[in-house]
Structure 1
Amino acid sequence: MSDPIVFVPGLLCTEALFAPQIVAFADRPIMVANHREQDSIEAIAAKILEKAPERFSLIGLSMGGYICMEIMREAPERVGKLALLDTNARPDSPDQSERRKFLIDLTRKKGFSKVPHLLYPGFVHEKREEDAALKQIVVDMAMETGPEAFIRQQTALIDRIDARPRLSEIDCPTLVLVGDGDRLTPPPVSREIHERISGSDLVLIEGSGHLSTLEEPDRTTATLRDFLNRP
């Protein structure tokens, strides 16, 4: 029997980020992690492990990937297969942290409603910047997440550790996937992860930005299916 799947969404994302994949893998038990209640990556990972099945396949995108790498540090024996989508093993750079602090300050002083619109262009391939339907999904996920959770998530991202030194310890089958037009965590960042995890697969999704599960759902799902079904 196939392991259950635990999906871990990205910043300001909900289960809607994985809607096409949840449908595709409806024959397996599925859990979508809650990453909105704690303000550190370590605490989020620990809470997910409390709720997760004893053994599972783990799939995370962006911030979800950071959390997945922490889960691998805390409980690698529980993960049968790992998929890291459009993510980054490096700690926040000073510029990234300053941008996050600006957005936290904006949220507290001016409100949250403009934040998803400011972030959207960086989330998607340049060809999807004017895609109203995709933008609405992203904005809806953000509004469901809300300002308080957004501030907690940004705080967790600012304080996250450098995961690169521990990547070589990952020994379960691992897929590293990234959109060729990902501007937040570009392909060289995924290649760095791939090169540090022995035996991992690296897949580039053409025509996708940072949200590969929504921008190119068919190709992303097919890649995940092939990976998860591999003996």
Structure 2
Amino acid sequence: MALPPLILIPGLLNDAELWRDQIAVLADIADCRVADITQGESLEAVARSVLAQAPPRFALAGFSLGGYVAVEMARIAAERIERLALLDTSIQPDDPERAAARQIRDRAARAPGTFHGFGDRLLRTYLSAAHLKDEHIVGRIRGMTQRLGAEIFLRQNNILRKDGAGVLAGLTCPVLILCGEEDRLTPLAEHQAMARLVPQAQLVTIPGSGHMTPIENPGAVNAALRDWLRSRR
């Protein structure tokens, strides 16, 4: 008997390595497929590209930028999504402060020399303090950024983020909203606000983790995803 499909959407400058631990542990209950979001100049274009490669119905999990893509997929084709998980992400539209921060990162990426992706300063916003010196975790993150490179960073960084509140409020499928306890990039308060929009949502906080929960605390993330995949409407 075929396993139900689960589409996993990585975040900015992430590839399938982000989901390595989830794919391994959930393989007994889901057919895990990692979406490619390295092409496309808008959320709609990226979402439609993922939908074009997806089966008629599927479970969907999006991390960080991938959460924005997942919500955009729900905006376009909610009837195809059997359940939705949003990890360390946001539904807030771009505002001047967010846009300015991305412009600063753009200039750094365009600067002469080697593109380093997540440098030490940026890592401090992505990881919990306990993981900043964890060579295994840092190595996995830097490996992804180096494989994808400056061109993909610039493309993804310049995708306009949309307001997803109306989409979330209209969902009727099982929804998991998950956040690292020490996530400074997309804080817990934002996830609590997201959960309040969806009466059937389950909110899970991952202890000892910053923004990169699938890598920082894969055991807790795997357990939450397994419960979500088994949940009923």
- TM-score class, shorter-chain normalisation, is over 0.9
- What residue in structure 1 maps to residue 101 of structure 2? 99
- Distance (whole Å) between structure 1 residues aligned to residue 113 and residue 187 of structure 2: 30
2:49 to 29, 47, 50: 47
- Distance (whole Å) between structure 1 residues aligned to residue 117 and residue 25 of structure 2: 31
- Distance (whole Å) between structure 1 residues aligned to residue 27 and residue 125 of structure 2: 30
- What residue in structure 2 maps to residue 37 of structure 1? 39
Q: Deviations over 1:145-179 (max 9, x none)?
A: 111111010011xx221111332111110000101
Cα deviation, residue 95, structure 1: 1.9
TM, length-normalised to structure 2: 0.94
- What residue in structure 1 maps to residue 226 of structure 2? 225
- What residue in structure 2 maps to residue 216 of structure 1? 217
Deviating above 6 A after TM superposition, structure 1's stretches of 4 or more consecutive aligned residues are none
- What residue in structure 2 maps to residue 166 of structure 1? 167
Asked if the contact 1:55–1:80 (Cα under 8 Å) also holds between the matched residues in 2, the reply is yes
- Distance (whole Å) between structure 1 residues aligned to residue 111 and residue 214 of structure 2: 33
Q: Deviations over 1:69-126 (max 9, x none)?
A: 0001000011101000111010123222112111112212234523311422211112
- Distance (whole Å) between structure 2 residues aligned to residue 112 and residue 193 of structure 1: 38
CA shift in 2, pair 1:194/1:111, >3 Å: farther
Q: Percent identity?
A: 34
Cα deviation, residue 191, structure 1: 0.6
Deviates more, 1:26-35 or 1:181-190: 26-35
- Distance (whole Å) between structure 2 residues aligned to residue 145 and residue 41 of structure 1: 19
- What residue in structure 1 maps to residue 202 of structure 2? 201
- Distance (whole Å) between structure 2 residues aligned to residue 17 and residue 181 of structure 1: 18
Question: Which ranges of structure 2 fall in alignment gaps of 5 or more residues?
Answer: none
Cα deviation, residue 205, structure 1: 0.8
Question: Which ranges of structure 1 fall in alignment gaps of 5 or more residues?
Answer: none
**C-alpha RMSD over aligned residues:** 1.3
- Distance (whole Å) between structure 1 residues aligned to residue 153 and residue 140 of structure 2: 17
1:89 to 88, 91, 99: 91
CA shift in 2, pair 1:112/1:163, >3 Å: farther
- Distance (whole Å) between structure 1 residues aligned to residue 161 and residue 90 of structure 2: 11
1:5 is paired with a residue whose SS is: strand
1:104 is paired with a residue whose SS is: helix
Q: Deviations over 1:195-222 (max 9, x none)?
A: 0112111011111111111111011101
- What residue in structure 2 maps to residue 137 of structure 1? 140
Count residues in correspondence.
Answer: 229
- Distance (whole Å) between structure 1 residues aligned to residue 110 and residue 199 of structure 2: 43
TM, length-normalised to structure 1: 0.95
Letter of the 2:56 partner, please give it: E
